[in-house]
Structure 1
């Protein structure tokens, strides 16, 4: 199966054109892709349009490497765009009414009542909108409810939509365009906050820092990348790719598990922020904090299923040396950190020796790697390892300094990046509570599962090595 004619991709924002168009540098992990004389004219500006087998092969390789993304507005229409909407719900009749009213009656809708306390209210809303109702006698959770609806789907595509989301009229039509790529199994929109008449400070924080909002840039959903997972609060999926569907043993993290299983099986999952779906975020502090903690409890079950994907941080050896040196806070810390960066730069430059400016490119990659390593370390101290960091603060001044710098720097950088409407003080409090809740959930799941897999960083086993043009900085 190949990409159809008319399929257009554009280079990702992290992909650089080097050597006057003779090579591309980017992807996850970073690699150098040299273009043959035949392939160079296929890249026009920063786009590739599929016109023949050669351009289809190049576009496909760029997508596989994470070096390019489809231009959704230019994609050919989906060959068979028929779909069925599956809505899992437990009570929440007003939200269900709002959702079904927005969806309309263009396609079949299946409402799965997951053992509501007031099933008559859900039934009345489903009947009002002409939706088929499947009542479950016992509560199965989101995974089981979605699977119950999936088993009744006869169309090529299925739309899973939670009752507390509100899609726009063009959400499904736009996401379906991604299925012109025969390897796409799922396409997900950007999840934003549903506007409220009286927003709380927590809801205002969620508007810019929601766990479900994956940002404003299109991306392939893959572990180890900026978009490593995607929520199924609203998603369009290819039915043939889902097979057994969600893992019904998981009450949380089932969407992450499904994404990763699809990717392991060779499918693609696309994140498309060009369409947005409004989600009714939790606005009360207690509900919000508890939900963040619940998200964290999915870590250990995911670690058992995908141990290679769940590490809270991944370091190359030189990154690990850099971090350890800086955390030591000794006189030798800066020289050792500088030496680690110097060795890494020379090693990467050696792999780029056929480019025009290998040392300049290598220095940029090393600097980006150092920033990423420090960011991951900050997250370890303030999020995943905060109980250990708290104990360390009681006994060590170095731990106190490192934790304070990590916490305050994180707030300052993220507040500026998010352009939050919330004042810095309450934003900072919410940011730290967010991390405390999630980290607590991770530790609870680790204790319950008697496993520390979800808490252990991973260090790449050997030094950066070129592999068919692939560079791991």
Structure 2
């Protein structure tokens, strides 16, 4: 399945053009891609228009490695852009009414009532908007409800939208353009907070750092990258690419599972933040904490289905040694950590042999790797492993010190990045509660599944 002529990609913001255009450095994981003289001529600045088979091959490679992304505004709409909206719902008639108003009456909509406690209220909203109602006798969960709607879809594309979503008018038309790439099976927008007249401090935190918001930059959704999964709160997919759809044995994490199955099958999933869908975040502390914990309970089912993807942290051997040296906090820790970084820099420089300034590039990559290692180690201490950390802190002054540094540094760095409309104190409290609730869910799922697979970091070579 080749990219069509006229397809346009642009280099990712982190992809560096080195050696006067003779090579590209970037992607996830970071790699050096040396360009032949012919390949160099295909690039126009930081863009690559597909004009022939060679351009299609290079653009495809750049998309696969995460070194470039489609320029969505330049892509054509598919020949048959028809789509059906499938909405799984259980009660929530007010939210459902708001969503259906945003969809309009020109688009076919299937509302699957997942055994509501008050089905008449849901049916009245569906009838008012002229949608099709499928009423289930037993509650099967979001995965089963979506599949029940998917089986009735006759259009080439399907939009899954949760009842607490509001669709912008340009969201679906823009996402449809991604299907100019024949390998794309699914595309998702950025999920942002729904504006409200009054906001709680938890809502302001969620607006800055929702679990559903995957950031401001386009990405290929792939395990092991900054955007490793996509939420099914709002998603556009090729109907015939979904096969049997969502795994009905999963009450949570079913969207992650579907993404990873599609990717394993050689398909692409695109994240497009140029368009958005608004989500009604939970605003009460109890409801919010429960939802975070529920997200965590998806870890063990995912570990059983995708053991190669679910690790809470992924280290190279050198980064594991680097982190361990700093954690023990001995006199030799800093020299040992520095020596590790020095050796890694030399090894990377050898791999960059033939480029200009290989040691300068290698030093930059090593520093980025070290910062990533520190971030992952911090997340292990304060998020995934916090029950062990809490026990350890009762006996170890060193562990208390490193945990305090990790927790405070994380708050400071993320607060600046998120640009939250919330004071640092309440942001910090919410950040730590977020991690505690999610981590509790992960441990609960591990205990229930009698497995530590979702808690074990992975070391790769």
Please state which band the TM-score falls in when normalised by the shorter chain: over 0.9
What is the CA distance between 1:290 and its match in structure 2? 0.4
CA displacement at 1:203 relative to structure 2: 0.2
Taking the aligned partners of 1:159 and 1:417, their CA distance within structure 2 comes to 31
Give the structure 1 partner of residue 309 of structure 2.
Answer: 309
Is residue 159 of structure 1 aligned with residue 159 of structure 2?
Answer: yes
Equivalent positions of 1:73-472 (< 5 A) are 73-460=73-460, 462=461
Whole-Å separation in 1 of the counterparts to 2:375 and 2:21: 32
**Could you list the per-position Cα deviations for residues 198-233 of structure 1 after superposition, in whole angstroms to 9, with x for gaps in the alignment?**
100000000001000000000000001010000010
**Which whole-Å deviations, capped at 9, do the CAs of 1:64-106 have from their partners, x for residues lacking one?**
1110000111112212111111000000001111110110122
Structure 2 unaligned residues grouped into runs of 5+: none
Tell me how far 1:197 sits from its aligned partner. Answer: 1.1
Q: Tell me how far apart the structure 2 counterparts of residues 161 and 76 of structure 1 sit (CA, whole Å).
A: 24
**Counterpart Cα distance in 1 of 2:194 and 2:403:** 34
Structure 2: distance between partners of 1:415 and 1:27: 26
Does residue 14 of structure 1 match 2:14? yes
1-side partners of 2:150 and 2:276: how far apart? 24
Residue 196 of structure 1 deviates from its aligned partner by 1.1
Matched residue, 1:34? 34
Task: Give 5+ residue unaligned stretches, structure 1.
Answer: 463-473
Secondary structure, counterpart of 1:204 in structure 2: helix
Cα deviation 1:121-155 (Å, max 9, x = unaligned): 11111111110100000000000000000000111
1:58 is aligned to: 58
CA distance in structure 1 between the aligned counterparts of 2:80 and 2:323, rounded to whole angstroms: 51
Report if aligned partners of 1:6, 1:76 keep a CA contact under 8 Å in 2: no
Q: SS where residue 412 of structure 1 aligns?
A: helix
Q: Deviation at 1:373?
A: 0.2
Q: Deviations over 1:157-209 (max 9, x none)?
A: 10000000001001100000000000000000000000111100000000001
CA distance in structure 1 between the partners assigned to 2:300 and 2:160 by the alignment? 25
Q: Which moved more, 1:126-135 or 1:70-79?
A: 70-79
Q: Distance in 1 between matches of 2:431 and 2:251?
A: 25
Q: 3-state DSSP class of the match of 2:215?
A: coil
Q: Contact (CA 8 Å) 2:205, 2:430: kept in 1 or not?
A: yes
Counterpart of 1:470 in structure 2 is: none
Q: Deviations over 1:378-425 (max 9, x none)?
A: 000000000000001100001000100000000011111111110111
1:288-312 deviations in Å (ceiling 9; x for gaps): 0000000000000000000110000
Contact 2:77 2:173 survives alignment (8 Å) = no
Where 1:2 maps in the other structure, the secondary structure is: coil
- Structure 1 distance, partners of 2:18, 2:84, is 45
Structure 2 distance, partners of 1:417, 1:104, is 36
Q: Which runs of 4+ in 1 moved over 4 A?
A: none
CA distance in structure 2 between the aligned counterparts of 1:20 and 1:30, rounded to whole angstroms: 19
Please name the residue that 1:466 is paired with. Answer: none
- State the SS of the aligned residue for 1:383: helix
Q: CA RMSD in A?
A: 0.6
User: Take 2:182 and 2:45, find their aligned partners in 1: how far apart are those partners?
Assistant: 26
Distance 2:238 2:106 in 1: 19
| Cα distance in 2 between the residues matched to 1:121 and 1:58 | 54
Post-superposition offset of 1:43? 0.8
**Aligned residue for 1:467?**
none
Corresponding residue SS for 2:17: strand
**Following TM superposition, by how much is the alpha carbon of 1:273 offset from its aligned partner in structure 2, in angstroms?**
0.1
Q: Distance in 2 between matches of 1:394 and 1:451?
A: 26
- For 1:220 and 1:435, the matched residues in 2 are separated by 26
What SS is found at the alignment partner of 1:44?
Answer: coil
TM norm structure 1: 0.97
Deviation string for 1:38-87 (max 9, x for gaps)? 11011111100111111111111100111000011111221211111100
Measured in 1, the distance between the counterparts of 2:76 and 2:42 equals 19
Is the 8 Å Cα contact of residues 345 and 362 (structure 1) preserved in structure 2?
A: yes
CA deviation profile, 1:255-295 (whole Å, cap 9, x unmatched):
00000000000000000000011000000000000000000
Output the TM-score relative to the length of structure 2: 0.99
Distance in 2 separating the partners of 1:129 and 1:4? 39
1:358 & 1:106 partners in 2: Cα distance?
A: 57
**Partners in 1 of 2:206 and 2:323 — Cα distance?**
31
Q: Please say if residues 386 and 439 of structure 2, whose CA atoms lie closer than 8 Å, have aligned partners that are also in contact.
A: yes
Contact 2:185 2:269 in 1 (8 A): yes
**Alpha-carbon deviation of 1:14?**
1.3
Report the secondary structure of 2:37's partner residue.
coil
Whole-Å Cα distance in 1 between the matches of residues 76 and 341 of structure 2? 46
Give distance in 1, aligned partners of 2:10 and 2:229. 22
